[in-house]
């Protein structure tokens, strides 16, 4: 998972004095993708992307986002040991499911695979397995993690991940307390050891990236630890860091500090730095780009139930006024998303999973208070279609 909370606080304004004066339309027209990004990941052609989201960003969600202009997606963070055990012996709630976090189709690219864990050798072996898509027997990767076999030549699968992202950001307590995710912001040497092991295990042409928060807390020591890890990751050969403007201690509460991101880009102008935190609309994408100077923006909770945010961002870059989705467009996407989820998960599981998406999609409906409870009660694709027939058909639009 990308460690995004399902019970997160409502949209909050970032700490960004003066950002409200930025004209997002002008910022969007001026926005360009840094050429280093598509050189590293072909197809990553716009300065925004879909973050990995716990319990959400499976192949179905990613494909819907891509069809609305999202240039690149990140998987949920997979636990290194879950990968090496083929998912056996671990609760799915602990981290993302294996089947949710592989390329879903020919057009589910470019896709960045995200991992996290607590041991450098295990993380390195997990990264190799992800890139090879498990082409070798499972025992090979376990032996690799235990130092019982040399890595040899890594052979990336033809449909593999475009890059591997190391998660040093997850603030969820049960993750951090097991020396994973955001825990490592308190132990910079341990974080650096993991980063070195993963980078050295992969072929040079496979980019590696890192997800960070701005520190474990607001103390001077936390900022020093962050900067030590941040500087080291580039020295080790990582392509970029995505930095979230909240601390681990904050979790998902309170504003993201865009001021921190701005200071970071100004102090390290030669480095590729991506930003995250309090990006809820297409306008926010370009306000963050303009205000902070980051090279790309991670869209996380803001794109749940809103794939149109990517279309709107592209419209703004092209000088077009972004339009909200019509009821007909909402209906088409709701049908498409459910059908893709059935293809990925089967109807029974898809019916349960799509309830939480329906609740978020309902926010676009002019009668959201009526639609939301209907999605919560969905048990089958027939139930889903019934909601759409009642609330998203032509007669429903006429009644609004």
pLDDT average, residue stretch 59-71: 96
If DSSP states are collapsed to H, E and C, what string results for 26-73?
HHHHHCCCCCHHHHHCCCCCCCEEECCCCCCCCHHHHHHHHCCCCCCE
Residue 24's closest CA among 338, 318, 282? 282
Residue 8: how many other CB atoms lie within 10 Å? 14
Measured CA angle at 211 (ends 130, 251), to 5 deg = 120
Q: Indicate if the pLDDT at residue 20 is higher than 60.
A: yes
Query: What does the alpha-carbon distance between residue 332 and residue 327 come to, in Å, rounded to a whole number?
Result: 9
| pTM of the predicted structure, to 2 decimals | 0.91
Grade residue 253 by pLDDT with cuts at 50, 70 and 90. confident
Domain boundaries, the chain: 19-317, 327-399
| 393/152 Cα distance (integer angstroms) | 58
**pLDDT, tens digit, for every residue of 35-45?**
999 999 999 99
Rg (CA), the chain: 21
Residue 146 to residue 177: CA distance in whole angstroms:
23
What pLDDT is stored for residue 124 in this prediction? 95
Amino acid 7: pLDDT: 40
Average of per-residue pLDDT across 207-214: 98
Q: Would the pLDDT of 9 be above 50?
A: no
CATH 3.20.20.70 fits 19-317, yes or no: yes
Closest CA to 19 of 368, 292, 302: 292
The residue ranking higher by pLDDT, 78 or 159, is 78
Residue 39 and residue 211 in contact, taking contact as beta carbons nearer than 8 Å: no
What pLDDT sits at residue 177?
Answer: 55
Report the candidate in 313, 312, 308 with the shortest Cα–Cα distance to residue 363.
308
Identify whether the C-beta of residue 229 lies closer than 8 Å to the C-beta of residue 197: no
- Whether 129 has a pLDDT exceeding 70, the answer reads yes
CA angle, 252 as apex, 233 and 276 as ends, to 5°?
A: 45
Residue 367 has pLDDT above 70, yes or no: yes
* 3-state DSSP of the chain: CCCCCCCCCCCCCCECCCHHHCCHHHHHHHCCCCCHHHHHCCCCCCCEEECCCCCCCCHHHHHHHHCCCCCCEEEEEEEHHHHHCCCCCCCHHHCCCHHHCCCCCCCCCCEEEEEECCCHHHHHHHHHHHHHCCCCCHHHHHHHHCCCCCCCCCCCCCCCCCEEEEEECCCCHHHHCCCCHHHHHHCHHHHHHHHHHHHHHCCCCCCEEEEEECCCCCCHHHHHHHHHHHHHHHHCCCCEEEEECCCCCCCCCCCCEHHHHHHHHHHCCCCCEEEECCCCCHHHHHHHHHHHCCCEEEECHHHCCCCHHHHHHHHHHCCCCCCCCCHHHHHHHHHHHHHHHHHHHCHHHHHHHHHHHHHHHHHHCCCHHHHHHHHHCCCCHHHHHHHHHHHCCHHHHHHC
Percent of the chain clearing pLDDT 70 (strictly above): 88
Mean pLDDT calculated for residue range 253-277:
96
> Residue 330: pLDDT above 90?
yes
Query: 286 and 19 in contact (C-beta within 8 Å)?
Result: no
- Render pLDDT for 83-127 as a digit per residue (tens, 0 to 9): 888 765 343 333 445 555 666 677 899 999 999 998 999 999 999
Length of the chain: 400
pLDDT at 107: 86
What's the confidence (pLDDT) of residue 136?
A: 84
User: CB of 357 within 8 A of CB of 304?
Assistant: yes
Cross-strand partners of 18: none
How far apart are alpha carbons 396 and 387 in whole angstroms?
A: 11
Q: What is the pLDDT of residues 283-300, one digit of tens each?
A: 999 999 999 999 999 999
223-244 mean pLDDT: 98
> In the predicted model, is pLDDT for residue 152 greater than 90?
no
**So what's the pLDDT on residue 178?**
60
More confident residue, 376 or 19: 376
């Amino acid at each position: 998972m990308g460690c995004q909370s399902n019970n997160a606080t409502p949209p909050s304004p970032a700490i960004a004095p003066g950002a409200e004066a930025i004209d997002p339309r002008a910022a969007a027209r001026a926005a360009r993708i840094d050429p280093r990004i598509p050189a590293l990941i072909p197809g990553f052609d716009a300065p925004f992307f879909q973050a990995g989201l716990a319990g959400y960003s499976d192949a179905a969600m990613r494909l819907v986002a891509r069809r609305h202009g999202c240039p690149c997606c990140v998987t949920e963070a997979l636990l290194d040991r879950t990968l090496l055990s083929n998912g056996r012996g671990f609760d799915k709630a602990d981290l993302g499911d294996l089947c949710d976090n592989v390329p879903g189709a020919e057009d589910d690219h470019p896709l960045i695979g995200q991992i996290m864990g607590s041991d450098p050798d295990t993380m390195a072996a997990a990264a190799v397995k992800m890139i090879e898509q498990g082409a070798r027997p499972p025992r090979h990767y376990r032996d690799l993690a235990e130092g019982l076999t040399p890595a040899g030549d890594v052979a990336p699968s033809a449909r593999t991940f475009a890059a591997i992202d190391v998660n040093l950001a997850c603030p969820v307590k049960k993750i951090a307390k097991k020396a994973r995710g955001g825990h490592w912001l308190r132990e910079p040497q341990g974080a650096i050891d993991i980063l070195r092991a993963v980078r050295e295990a992969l072929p040079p042409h496979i980019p590696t990236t890192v997800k960070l928060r701005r520190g474990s807390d607001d103390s001077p020591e936390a900022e020093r630890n962050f900067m030590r890890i941040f500087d080291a990751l580039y020295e080790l050969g990582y392509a970029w860091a995505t930095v979230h403007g909240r601390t681990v201690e904050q979790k998902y509460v309170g504003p993201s500090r865009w001021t921190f991101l701005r200071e970071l880009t100004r102090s390290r102008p030669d480095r590729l730095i991506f930003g995250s935190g309090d990006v809820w609309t297409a306008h926010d994408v370009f306000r963050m780009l303009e205000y902070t100077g980051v090279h790309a923006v991670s869209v996380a909770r803001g794109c749940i139930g809103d794939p149109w945010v990517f279309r709107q961002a592209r419209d703004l870059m092209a000088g077009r006024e972004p339009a909200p989705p019509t009821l007909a467009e909402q209906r088409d996407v709701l049908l498409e998303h459910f059908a893709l989820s059935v293809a990925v998960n089967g109807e029974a599981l898809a019916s349960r999973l799509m309830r939480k998406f329906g609740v978020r999609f309902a926010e676009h409906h002019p009668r959201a208070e009526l639609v939301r409870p209907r999605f919560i009660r969905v048990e089958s694709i027939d139930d889903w279609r019934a909601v759409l027939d009642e609330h998203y058909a032509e007669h429903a639009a006429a009644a609004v």
